[in-house]
Structure 1
Amino acid sequence: MRIRSIETIPVAVPLTKSFKTALRTVTTAYAMYVKITTEDGRVGWGEAPPTHVITGDSLGSITYAVNEVIAPLLLGLDVRNREEVFRMLQRSIVRNTSAKAAVDMAIHDLLGQLAGLPLYQLLGGFRKTIETDFTVSVNDAAEMADDAERYITDGFNVLKVKVGIGDIGDDIERIRAIRERVGSGPKIRLDANQGWKPKEAVFAIGKMEDAGLDIELIEQPVAADDIDGLQYVTNHTITPIMADESVFSAKDALRVLERRACDLINIKLMKSGGIHEALKINALAEIYGVECMVGSMIETKLGITAAAHLAASQPNITRFDFDAPLMLAHDIVAGGIVYEGRVIRLPEGTGLGLHQEGMERIEKGAAQ
Structure 2
Amino acid sequence: MYIKSIETVDVAIPLTKPFKTALRTVTTAYSVYVTITTSNGIVGYGEAPPTHVITGESMDSIRYAINEIIAPQLIGMNILQSEQVFQKLNTVLVRNTSAKAAVDMAIHDILAKYAGVPLYQFLGGYRDALETDFTVSVNDPTEMADDAERYIKNGFNVLKVKVGIGAIKDDIERIRAIRERVGMTPKLRLDANQGWNAKEAVKAIGLMEDAGLSIEFVEQPVSAWDLEGLKYVTDRTHTPIMADESVFSVHDAIRVLNMRAADLINIKLMKSAGIYNAQKINTFAEANGVKCMVGSMIETKLGITVAAHFAASKANIRYFDFDAPLMLANDLIVGGVIYEKSIMTFSNEPGLGIAHVNLD
State the TM-score, normalized to the length of structure 2.
0.99
Question: Counterpart of 1:88?
Answer: 88
> Residue in 2 aligned with 1:98?
98
Instruction: Name the CA distance, whole Å, in 1 between partners of 2:307 and 2:299.
Output: 11
* Structure 2: distance between partners of 1:62 and 1:348: 31
Matched residues in 1 for 2:256 and 2:204: separation? 22
Alignment of 1:96-135 (within 5 A): 96-135=96-135
Question: Helix, strand or coil for the counterpart of 2:322?
Answer: coil
2:316 corresponds in structure 1 to 316
**Secondary structure class of the residue paired with 1:334:** strand
Superposition pairs of residues 175-194 of structure 1, within 5 angstroms: 175-194=175-194
Report the Cα distance in structure 2 between the residues aligned to 1:347 and 1:200, rounded to whole angstroms. Answer: 45
Give, as a single letter, the amino acid of the residue that structure 1 aligns with 2:168: I
Alignment of 1:317-356 (within 5 A): 317-355=317-355
CA distance in 1, matches of 2:317, 2:25: 28
Partner of 1:298: 298
Cα distance between partner residues in 2 of 1:348 and 1:280 = 26
Q: CA deviation at 1:66?
A: 0.1
Partner Cα distance (1:83, 1:187) in 2 = 40
Q: Are 1:209 and 2:199 an aligned pair?
A: no
Distance in 1 of aligned mates of 2:169 and 2:127: 41
CA distance in 1, matches of 2:180, 2:189: 15
1:276 match: 276
- Residues 193-225 of structure 1 show CA distances to partners (whole Å, capped at 9, x for unaligned) of 000000000000000000000000000000000
Output the amino acid matched with 2:151. Y
Distance across 2 between alignment mates of 1:236 and 1:11: 44
Mind listing any 5+ residue stretches in structure 1 that lack a counterpart? none
Amino acid at match of 1:195: G
Rounded Cα–Cα distance in structure 2 between residues aligned with 1:175 and 1:92: 45
Question: Deviation of residue 92 (structure 1)?
Answer: 1.1
SS at match of 1:112: helix
Q: Does 1:250 align with 2:256?
A: no
Secondary structure of the corresponding residue to residue 174 of structure 2? helix
Which 4+ runs in 1 deviate beyond 2 A?
A: none
- The SS at the match of 1:26 is strand
How many Å separate the matches in 2 of 1:324 and 1:82? 30
Task: Compute the displacement of 1:53 (Å).
Answer: 0.2
- 1:106 and 1:47 map into 2 onto residues whose CA distance is 8
Deviation at 1:348, TM superposition (A): 1.3
Cα distance in structure 2, aligned partners of 1:201 and 1:251: 25
Question: Which segments of 5 or more consecutive residues in structure 2 lack a partner in the other structure?
Answer: none
Letter of the structure 2 residue corresponding to residue 312 of structure 1: A
Q: CA RMSD in A?
A: 0.5
Matched residue, 1:136: 136
2:150 match: secondary structure: helix
Secondary structure at 2:354 match in 1: coil
Partner Cα distance (2:110, 2:334) in 1: 17
Q: Which residue of 1 aligns with 2:23?
A: 23
What is the DSSP-based 3-state SS (H/G/I as helix, E as strand, rest coil) of the residue aligned with 2:46? strand
Alignment-derived partner of residue 307 in structure 1: 307
Whole-angstrom distance in 2 between the partners of 1:135 and 1:19: 9
Count of residues paired in the alignment: 360
Which residue identity lines up with residue 321 of structure 2 in the other structure?
Answer: D
What is the CA–CA distance in structure 1 between the aligned matches of 2:176 and 2:143, rounded to whole Å? 13
Distance 2:6 2:241 in 1: 40
Q: Residues 41-70 of structure 1: CA distance to partner in whole angstroms, max 9, x if unpaired?
A: 111000000000000010000000000000
- Residue matched to 2:231: 231
State the AA in 2 paired with 1:158: V
Give the counterpart letter for 1:130 in structure 2: L
- Render the CA deviation track for 1:309-340: whole Å, top value 9, x for unaligned: 00000000000000000000011111100000
Letter in 2 for 1:283: T
Counterpart Cα distance in 1 of 2:227 and 2:29: 31
Partner of 1:79 in structure 2? 79
Tell me the secondary structure at the aligned position of residue 84 of structure 2.
Answer: helix
Partner of 1:162: 162
The 3-state SS of whatever aligns with 2:52 is coil
The code of the aligned residue for 2:60 comes to G
Is 1:70 the counterpart of 2:67? The answer is: no
Amino acid corresponding to residue 164 of structure 1 in structure 2: G
Give the letter aligned to residue 182 of structure 2. V
Cα displacement string for residues 8-44 of structure 1 (whole angstroms, at most 9, x for unaligned residues): 0100110000000000000000000000001111110
1:216 aligned counterpart, secondary structure: strand
What SS does structure 2 have at the residue aligned with 1:77? coil
Measure the CA separation in 2 of the matches of 1:8 and 1:330.
Answer: 20
Cα distance between partner residues in 2 of 1:246 and 1:305: 24
Q: Distance between the aligned counterparts of 2:313 and 2:40, measured in 1?
A: 28
The two structures have a TM-score, normalised by structure 1, of 0.97
Deviation at 1:347, TM superposition (A): 2.1
